[in-house]
């Protein structure tokens, strides 16, 4: 789809996610989040378990992990550009830091050659590595000004309980919200929605009545 299609979907259905035009973003990639593994009690030496990624309820990728003392062994298959599958198995060092209220927090050390950054998330490619090694941007870094305005408008819509998407019309005042707060939020929403639509119109040379 072209850029206008992406912008239109964001306006109709809420701010989009995933790959923005240009550089890949963190939301494009499969991720291993050590905070989730620690929260689920999986970082114990001797534990072996599988992890799956799904899309619409269907498994699209999986990995096997085996815990050792202060490291985890990753085992999976990888291929590039439709080539042959290759078996991948390598260790990722873990590091532990104390928490202010007691206990310890786990971190990955990025296994990419020459890196070793301490990170909470590794992103899958031919190897699992940190955001910097994969040259990933955060989605917000790839936003245009009108994308950013649409996202801000949708944040307000969620707070007000309105349907996502700046073209979907306004709802009413949430029960229990003061009128002054509601009017302020509605004014902020309208300003951001108009800025987003004006940006889209200018970018694609469209004539949208009421915008100037």
Share the mean pLDDT of the chain: 81
| pLDDT score, position 168 | 83
| pLDDT score, position 1 | 39
Residue 165 φ/ψ region, left for φ over 0, alpha for ψ in the -120 to 50 degree band, beta for the rest: left
The winner for highest mean pLDDT among 104-113, 130-139, 169-178 is 104-113
User: Which has more pLDDT, 132 or 203?
Assistant: 132
Task: Answer yes or no: is pLDDT of 86 > 50.
Answer: yes
E-strand ranges in 19-171 read: 31-33, 48-55, 58-68, 71-78, 86-98, 104-109, 118-119, 121-123
| pLDDT score, position 2 | 40
Among 48, 34, 32, CA closest to 105 = 34
User: Which has more pLDDT, 29 or 209?
Assistant: 29
Distance CA 88, CA 65 (A): 12
CA angle centred on 124, ends 62 and 139, rounded to 5°? 120
Task: Answer yes or no: is pLDDT of 49 > 60.
Answer: yes
Confidence (pTM): 0.55
What 8-state DSSP symbol labels residue 26? G
Distance CA 133, CA 110 (A): 9
| pLDDT score, position 10 | 47
Residue 45 burial (10 A CB sphere; 0-12, 13-18, 19+): exposed
Distance CA 98, CA 60 (A): 36
| Beta-bridge partners for 76 | 88
Six-digit token string for 149: 């305005």
Six-digit token string for 28: 């494009």
């Amino acid at each position: 789809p072209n850029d206008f299609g992406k912008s239109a979907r964001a306006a109709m259905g809420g701010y989009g996610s995933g790959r923005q035009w240009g550089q890949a973003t963190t939301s494009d990639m499969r991720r291993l989040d050590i905070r989730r593994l620690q929260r689920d009690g999986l970082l114990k030496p001797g534990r072996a378990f599988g992890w799956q990624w799904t899309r619409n309820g269907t498994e699209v990728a999986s990995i096997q992990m085996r815990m050792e003392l202060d490291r985890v062994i990753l085992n999976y298959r990888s291929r590039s550009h439709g080539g042959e599958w290759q078996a991948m198995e390598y260790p990722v060092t873990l590091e532990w830091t104390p928490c202010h209220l007691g206990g310890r927090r786990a971190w990955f050390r990025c296994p990419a050659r020459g890196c070793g950054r301490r990170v909470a998330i590794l992103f899958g490619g031919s190897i699992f590595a940190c955001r910097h090694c994969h040259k990933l941007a955060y989605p917000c870094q790839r936003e245009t000004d009108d994308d950013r305005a649409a996202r801000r408008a949708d944040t307000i819509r969620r707070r007000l309980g309105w349907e996502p998407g700046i073209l979907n019309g306004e709802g009413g005042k949430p029960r229990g919200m003061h009128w002054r707060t509601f009017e302020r939020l509605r004014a902020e929403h309208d300003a951001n929605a108009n800025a987003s639509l004006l940006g889209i119109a200018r970018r694609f040379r469209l004539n949208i009545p009421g915008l100037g």
